[in-house]
Chain A
């Protein structure tokens, strides 16, 4: 999605002026320090509040080059399995877990690529967890069961649009209810303004579609006012009122009714949100995110969280995204640039929640279409299944790995061809762990995640 950067740049300039006036030697003070200043100035009490933030990496992030095998034996297996597609040791930042890996993963080490350095900082502070080999599953599935088709498998494996939908909604494209939206349904009564329960700053996403809650879609500048419905319109003082009636009158056709209701929601939400944001603190993006779409999206999330009391919000689900991960080509150029954005954006967002004194109540996590093949096609990788993901927040039991890392290599029971990982943790378990923290009861969990009953351990354990 194309993002207009004008307003952000104006704000950034204003921020830099402020920052340099605060600094001693003329250079900008450390970013986190400024955030702390802003947060202190806001002086909000946290209160009863929780937010879940999904950062979806559209196109399928290659997990093999995201959480990278680092111990010698597995690094060698990695380099021999994907010719022309490997990172060098010099580019890797090894991670030290707070508790060593055990069981089949004992002795293994992993690293982040240097572009994700900001996430290593969060890891070291104990607030980043890594979920190994998670992907859509209907039931726990072994390689033999996969091969013999003796258990139900997720439909349309390896297809982008369908697996995006499976990640977000436990069903292929055409799903009308996602697990973020179903969580919203269960929590909507706690919010004074239901419209701000499920919020997308990235257009339509089935993740946020509920049965009661409607996904509110706003832009990177916040909500947008309709200029023609106030004041004078083309020389008429009454026409703006007429326009309001016209754009909100749906007639007797379901299409026109839906269009009119969307416009009515736009008007109502803008009235509330624009008023709330006027008095809420802002969190300007650091220089490295100045042109980042996902950075701008997370800034809006941060602003809405800052305005939560004015908005009467107690439980909110947010969706942001970054595209371009379908690296069939030029992966070693494309993916690092995207990772730079992801690392900086998640770090910025986590730091803002710390500055607001609310980090324990906000959890961000990544999702993606699927993992990618371990094999290389020369300069890219193909569609896979399981992948590794990040969970970031004050309530995360971080600096730890969860789940089971697969055997590194080809032709083994952890992969289904070309190094496509057979997931060992289902997306629904990953989601249930987040949903439980968010307040969804175990009895309601199957309303949110229809297959969760098929898994013995619905809570993977990464949330405090």
Chain B
């Protein structure tokens, strides 16, 4: 509510500017603090990072940075649904911190941090990637070389600035790269491995003496003895064969080439619009955002603050919602939970937000931040639900890829419990760790109209249809305030108001 007041008082742009300068809420420090309370042999897993995700998402004063970092984590996916989770208790927290830092920095630095992250190196397997070996026939791993193009920078097809696909003179799509580009990129991303005081072979392989205790939170380093010296040709650039291997130099050339490709603005810009505002931005909207990516007005390319401002302040983003309109997006399940936490000032009794993952679609949210099923995220930006009205209308609905008969039931059952009893680990007082503060709502619960209007404002920006508002209002009023236990009756009304609102399709589709 205080954020709504702040935006109302100062205007959108001033609020965004104020968010840009809020200190970043980091995940690594609380994770490290928790690990330090454990015996060395138990310093495993992601327990404290899971807590920290919910805490920072729900309470960080840098709400915008946390929100954009989450969006970036769905583009530059490193998933804890992998073997990383057990063995690297600090690396993933550091990775999300890096995304948060560069969320308000420059895209070139962002893609650099992603590329050199040992967590990404593990996830897309370019950590320990070795040059080709003609004797054995072994060739470099092409995984990162492919996905850095397909998913992180330019995508599969050449784009106009407005995000539409370019066509050749025969009317066919133009592929941005071919398999020989991928092979060269595979050779470029060879020779990176763990940070450490030297670049000896055994350190490259994962050993080293001493092993750097912070290697999982430090950028990977170059081991040039494992870097390919063959010619690399990609996207019109040629790095000639050489006798002096230079992994960092080659990677810089490759990332510069990708960064300056005209696809990046529309490719990444449209995905950020989809994550933050609308599944189906108009080509003009994409073009305006891509234009700002290309040049922030001061000749700088890749200025993320300028891009975020362009996305959030665009007239298309700010236009008043219309019931039949298609601007908007299905709220992601994890965002719904954080929204509930923020709207009702949920706080952790312990202070650390003792809650884990929420991945099960049948009993939870079907989505847990940082736990995507693959590098292709929980859902794809181009997803069209089959056999749907959305699809028939020619529209995209990425989040509907994780919306189905089971997840709908699971979400409703889960939120019924959350709204009523909170969430998280059960504490010594038998209450769940994370509890909402409904005092403002309870104060209005004698009056169903005032209560529904407050919840409508907090959760739906006041945009519930009058029919839906009336249904919820009457649902609230159906609880009598008796004399035996009036406080419980008032609480039931608040529970109904929040749960019913969060159950409506009008809430689930954020306009």
Contact = CB atoms under 8 A, between A and B. Distances in A.
B361 A219 contact: yes
A180 to B, nearest CB: 11
Q: Place the interface of chain B in its size category.
A: 35 or more
B500 A173 contact: no
Interface residues of A, number: 94
Nearest to B475: A242
A418 B139 contact: yes
Interface stretch (B70-78, B106-114, B407-415): B407-415
A239 B500 contact: yes
Given A238-B478, A259-B508, A323 B141 contact: no
Contacts, number: 272
Interface stretch (A23-31, A249-257, A301-309): A249-257
A375 B467 CA distance: 63
B373 interface: yes
Contacts of A46: none
B373 A236 contact: no
A223 B409 CA distance: 9
Interface stretch (B14-22, B286-294, B435-443, B489-497): B489-497
B479 interface: yes
Contact of B326 (A158, A203, A254): A254
Given A83-B137, A159-B156, A328-B141, A255 B328 contact: yes
B499 A234 contact: yes
Contact of A262 (B122, B326, B363, B403): B403
Nearest to A160: B376
B120 to A, nearest CB: 13
A235 B385 contact: no
A403 interface: no
A218 B363 contact: no
B156 A262 contact: no
Interface string B131-163: 001001111111100100010000010000000
B468 A246 contact: yes
Interface stretch (A12-20, A116-124, A204-212): A204-212
A48 interface: no
Nearest to B413: A227
B6 interface: no
A418 B142 CA distance: 12
B444 interface: no
Interface in A132-170: 156-162
A58 B374 contact: yes
Given A2-B81, A159-B146, A236-B478, A203 B404 contact: yes
A239 B146 CA distance: 53
Contacts of B125: 328-329, 380
Interface stretch (B31-39, B387-395, B425-433): B387-395
A259 B142 contact: no
B395 A254 contact: yes
A283 interface: no
A337 to B, nearest CB: 11
A239 B499 CA distance: 11
B389 A257 contact: yes
A451 interface: no
A211 to B, nearest CB: 7
Contacts of A228: 412-413, 416, 499, 503
A377 B141 contact: yes
Given A161-B376, A226-B409, A246 B500 contact: yes
Interface in B303-326: 323-326
Nearest to A229: B412
B390 A206 contact: no
Nearest to B137: A375
A176 B360 contact: no
B117 interface: no
A156 B124 CA distance: 19
Given A217-B406, A239-B478, A242-B475, A258 B389 contact: yes
A266 interface: yes
Contacts of A82: 137
Q: Taking chain A's interface residues, is the majority helix, strand, or loop, or is none over half, making it mixed?
A: loop
Contact of B387 (A3, A209, A250): A209
B130 interface: yes
A385 to B, nearest CB: 11
B459 interface: no
Given A204-B402, A224-B362, A228-B413, A256 B471 contact: no
Interface in B94-128: 122, 124-125, 128
Contacts of A215: 386-387, 404
A234 B492 contact: yes
Contact of A234 (B357, B374, B495): B495
B434 interface: no
Contact of A243 (B384, B393, B500): B500
Contacts of A259: 330, 403, 408, 505, 508-509
Contacts of B390: 254-255, 258
A376 interface: yes
B492 A235 contact: yes
A256 B505 contact: yes
Contacts of A265: 405
Contacts of B370: none
Contacts of B238: none
Contacts of B376: 160-161
A268 B376 CA distance: 32
B336 to A, nearest CB: 13
Given A204-B402, A256-B509, A266-B408, A84 B138 contact: yes
Contacts of B401: 203-204
A311 interface: no
A83 B132 CA distance: 12
A250 B505 CA distance: 7
Nearest to B124: A328
Contacts of A253: 323-326, 509
Contacts of B412: 226-228, 247, 263
B349 interface: no
B442 to A, nearest CB: 14
B483 interface: no
Given A174-B384, A224-B410, A204 B404 contact: yes
A227 to B, nearest CB: 5
Given A233-B496, A236-B478, A242-B474, A323 B406 contact: no
Interface string A163-201: 000000000011011100100000000000000000010
B129 interface: yes
Interface centre among A221, A256, A263, A380 (most CB of B within 10 A): A256
A158 B137 contact: no
A4 B362 contact: yes
Interface in A248-298: 249-263, 265-266, 269-270
A219 B406 contact: yes
A330 to B, nearest CB: 8
Contacts of A380: 125, 141
A255 B397 contact: yes
A4 B363 contact: yes
A415 B179 CA distance: 14
A98 B475 CA distance: 69
Contacts of A38: none
Given A239-B478, A243-B503, A262-B408, 7 more contacts: A158-B179, A219-B360, A221-B362, A259-B403, A262-B403, A323-B374, A377-B140
23 contacts: A1-B373, A2-B359, A58-B373, A176-B386, A210-B387, A213-B387, A226-B408, A226-B409, A228-B503, A239-B479, A243-B499, A247-B408, A253-B509, A254-B326, A255-B505, A259-B330, A259-B505, A259-B508, A262-B403, A263-B409, A329-B122, A382-B141, A383-B142
Interface of A: 1-4, 58-59, 80-84, 156-162, 173-174, 176-178, 181, 200, 203-204, 206, 209-221, 223-228, 233-239, 242-243, 245-247, 249-263, 265-266, 269-270, 323, 326, 328-330, 373, 375-378, 380, 382-383, 410, 417-418
Smallest CB-CB A-B distances: 8 pairs: A209-B386, A217-B404, A83-B136, A256-B505, A219-B362, A266-B405, A235-B492, A224-B409
